[in-house]
Amino acid sequence: MKRKSQAKNKTATLAAALAIGLAGALGAAPARAQHGPTGLALAQQENCMSCHSVTRNFMGPALRDVAAKYAGKPDAQAYLTHKILEGSTGVWGTVPMPANTQLNPSQAAQLASWVLTLK
């Protein structure tokens, strides 16, 4: 009788784990879709790549250089998010980066996070 009880408990535990795993997987798919485009796609969509390249200096600095400059700094993501939204002058030369008023703070943060992965 004890063996049947143990087998039922194992089966119930496995079924519960499977149900939780499936619920998590099914719940995760819509969440990913809600995040919108990837960092690169968003950068292309919002015309960041008109002045920036990932690997080479153009009108603006190479995004890998930006990532390297701010790598390891605790406030890097917040700093870059602010610069993306508000623009800047003189940080990377004489060409100013215009404010990106078409972006919301979440999009700017997504771009900043993506840039920081490029190092």
Write the burial class of residue 16 (CB in 10 Å: 0-12 exposed, 13-18 middle, 19+ buried). exposed
- pLDDT class of 4 with cuts at 50, 70, 90: low
Q: How far apart are CA 37 and CA 115, in angstroms?
A: 14
Which single residue is written with the structure tokens 């009880």? 5
Q: Is 35 annotated as a binding residue?
A: no
The pLDDT tens digits for 99-115 are 999 999 999 999 999 99
Q: Is 1 annotated as a binding residue?
A: no
Q: Is 49 annotated as a binding residue?
A: no
The pLDDT tens digits for 47-67 are 999 999 999 998 999 999 999
The pLDDT tens digits for 82-91 are 999 999 999 9
Say yes or no to pLDDT of 22 above 60: no
Q: Mean pLDDT throughout 65-80?
A: 97
Q: How far apart are CA 23 and CA 53, in angstroms?
A: 40
Q: Most distant CA pair in the chain: distance in Å?
A: 82
Say yes or no to pLDDT of 35 above 90: no
What are the structure tokens assigned to 20, written together? 């939780």
